[in-house]
Amino acid sequence: MPPPVSPLEQSKDDQDDLVFLEEHPAAPASTGARNVWRVMIIDDDEDVHSTTTFALGNLDMQHRPLEFVHAYSAGQARELLKHEREIAVILLDVVMEQDDAGLHLVRYIRETLQLHDVRIILRTGQPGYAPEIDAIRDFDINDYKTKSELTRIKLFTTVTAAIRSYEQIRKINDSRRGLNQIVHASTQLMALHGVQNFAAGVLAQIGDLLGQEANGVLCVQECPDSGCHELMVMATAGTYRHLDNITLTVREDQRIHDALEQALAQRRNVYGPDYVVLYFAGKASRDFVAFLELKRATSEIDERLLEVFCSNVAVGLDNVELVSHLHNAAFYDQLSKLPNRTRLVEILDAALAGPARDEATLSLVDLDHFAETNDALGHQFGDMLLVAVAGRLQTELGGQLTVARIGGDIFCVLGDSAQVNPGSILALFQRAFSIDGQDVQLSATLGLVRLCEHEGSGADALKDADIALKRAKSQQRAGHFYFSRSMGVEIRERVRMMHALRTAFGQNQLFVVYQPQIDLATRRPMGAEALLRWQTPDGKFISPDRFIPIAEYSGLIIELGEWVMRTACRELVDLRAAGHHDFMMSINVSQVQFRHPHFLDMLRKALEDTGAPPQNIELEITESMAMEEPDMLIKMLAQIKQTGVSIAIDDFGTGFSSLSYLQRLQIDRLKIDRAFVTEITGSARGSSIAEMVIQLGRNLGLAVIAEGVEDERQAQILQSLGCPLAQGFLFARPMTATALNSWLSNDALEGAA
């Protein structure tokens, strides 16, 4: 890290030839000032410090060498600037400790420290953090550059321009009037939007600076590098207003034309006895020149003031174009030129705040299967197709509509409900789009929101339309769906629950309980089913029926399921250490978890890491899982069986099993659903389904267990039907691992006796 102040080496090994117009040596600024230009580099990247000093270290500017002052944060810069003096230029990073640390530092320099002479050049490696026009206007920022565009020569040019500006400002400190007017002029100019308004403001400010009414013309020379020398009139004042919006030629006014051409050719200001021509060097081959008639010849201080003014205005012109570019990039889609999502939200906010909301509808238009078209015919073809869709939406739905593009193949239409309706929009896609000699047929799916039924911001309305779009796509393509409040409540509750579940898992609010499985003949515990529970900090329990689907929807079930599996395996190992060697541990597996490509690896790793014996582990899958893609399941179960783990089908009888597939599945046990156990004593049908499941298990050589046994009568009937095992509140409620260990040692033995 370079020291806070680094003197310059005087080696002359630089090979770049940088030539500037000859200028007179600058006089010492004030008593005690050193004969160097002091440049402060404020950046949190050490490489930026070293590359900057390397690029500028052995070059003279304005016949003086440079001395660098280094700060590696906005905080360090604040401390240095309290006692460092004679800083000519500050090269300031926009993004440091915070995204806007640089802009806050500018405010501190200008307002708190009252350092108005120092020139500030903003730099950023992140173009998205460009300064707002208010910051450029209010804090007298000398220039703004992205780090990628600051080549060595451009860096030298930028710093030299800043030092020249600083030198000139210091020289005219005795003329407060001029300096104050320049600052005022810059502030006024930067408040103007658009290049033409800015140009008109420049003429007015030049007149104020010289103490007279503006009387002249400002022109831009278009594309001089390509041989084009046309002078386009941007603004006029006084007796020259008749020249507005024309191309200025010798025929129009030879005196003005020749004077402007002279300034452009010499790339400098030209001072005549009764006129002045000011030269503003612009970017992108756009140079600006202004001609003003004078009532008196300019003085030396006038010329110095005008030099400073021109430097500021040249930067201002660049900044106006930069802000215009940033505005377009921030608010408009570059392909279709339509408003983008950000701009659409602003338009929606305005519509919701006004009377138009009563009759307005917002519709998302999602092109169906556009990705396939893009992949098949190429991205260039896809771009042309998107532009064609944008054009048709704009021209054929009627006037007074807002059409935006908010995503790759998603458009948005906002306007009167009579025009923004599914029939009108979908009808636009009945005709093929002709692209590059090919006819392409598209369809679209719509999600709509009536603004009169919406409560919230523009961003919320867009979210609601997206909810409706997802519902439409889930039902059928080329259809539509209107948002309703009930849909919003449902989605928001799901999202709220999803975030709460993630937090609960991270804060150990989820835990595993175990419900014993009993031999009906001996009433001895033979195993237990591991069950996941969620208790909130206020003591409330969230039902698994509510949070398990959310965990599956969000993908959290993968991590949750693996944790339950490992927890249950460790508990089995502890129980075996306590003497319960023949105990079985049943673990439920979610469909999402079961279909994860690494599920087998998770199972093997859990068995290996915990040391749990696979022959004492049983995985429970639902009947619906067993019947979906059975060929894939058969292969998967065969691989699981190779680990030594057994398989049970949970909730058997609630689905539509194919007995032929059931025979091919390598399963070990059927579990009678609690609904059929309840029917044994509570339904006219009695034990018919439970009896059939028990008989089926016997015929297929499968073990059978009944769940949800709550009274002795149910237990006796199941036993008489030949069901060997059961679980339910009659025997024991689900309990924690500690309680299970105690129960097995005491209560279970008493129950068996």
Number of structural domains the chain divides into: 4
Q: What is the pLDDT of residues 512-550, one digit of tens each?
A: 999 999 999 999 999 999 999 999 988 899 999 889 888
> Does the residue 496 lie in any domain?
no
Partners of 221 in the β-ladder: 231, 287
Q: Binning pLDDT at 50, 70 and 90, where does residue 60 land?
A: confident
From the list 68, 148, 135, the residue with the least C-alpha distance to 100 is 135
Same domain, 91 and 230: no
Residues 303, 223 within the same domain: yes
Instruction: Compute the half-sphere exposure of residue 166: CA atoms within 13 Å on the CB side of its CA.
Output: 29
CB distance 343 to 404 below 8 Å = yes
pLDDT at 9: 45
Is 186 in the same domain as 205? yes
CATH classification at residue 229: 3.30.450.40
pLDDT, mean of residues 104-120: 87
Please name which of 725, 683, 732 lies closest in space to residue 704, comparing C-alpha atoms.
725
Does residue 494 form part of some domain?
no
Which residues form the domain of 138? 5-171
Considering the domain architecture, whether residues 160 and 192 belong to the same structural domain is answered as: no
Query: Is residue 497 situated within a structural domain?
Result: no
How confident is the model over 330-383, as pLDDT tens digits? 788 888 889 999 889 988 998 898 888 888 999 999 998 888 888 878 888 989
Domain CATH number, residue 356: 3.30.70.270
User: Which of 483, 514, 534 is where one domain is finished?
Assistant: 483
Q: Are residues 158 and 185 in the same domain?
A: no
Q: What is the mean pLDDT of the chain?
A: 82
pTM, rounded to two decimals: 0.46
Residue 490 within a domain: no
Q: Are 532 and 653 in a shared domain? A: yes
> Would 355 be classed as within a structural domain?
yes
Instruction: Look at residue 200 and tell me whether its pLDDT is greater than 50.
Output: yes
Structure tokens at 358: 């009563």
| Last residue of one domain, picked from the residues 275, 304, 328 | 328
Rounded mean pLDDT of 159-182? 69
Together in a domain, 165 and 187: no
Mean pLDDT of 550-569: 91
* Environment class of 415 (CB within 10 Å of its CB; exposed 0-12, middle 13-18, buried 19+): buried
pLDDT reported for residue 219: 83
Of the residues 283, 301, 328, which one is the last residue of a structural domain?
328
Residue 618 shares a structural domain with residue 731: yes
Instruction: Note whether 544 and 614 are same-domain residues.
Output: yes
Position 732 confidence tier, pLDDT thresholds 50, 70, 90: very high
312 located within any domain:
yes
- Going by C-alpha positions, the residue among 586, 591, 478 that lies closest to residue 526 is 586
Domain shared by 674 and 643, yes or no: yes
Query: Phi/psi class of residue 7: alpha, beta or left (left: φ > 0; alpha: ψ in -120 to 50)?
Result: beta
Residue 333 located in a structural domain: no
Q: Say if 454 falls within a structural domain.
A: yes
Same-domain check for residues 455 and 523:
no
pLDDT digits (tens, 9 = 90+) for 229-270: 678 887 888 888 888 777 777 677 788 888 988 988 888 899
Shared domain check, 268 and 128: no
pLDDT digits (tens, 9 = 90+) for 582-632: 899 999 998 888 888 899 999 999 999 999 999 999 999 887 676 666 677
CA distance 686 to 105: 81
Give the CATH number, domain containing residue 98.
3.40.50.2300
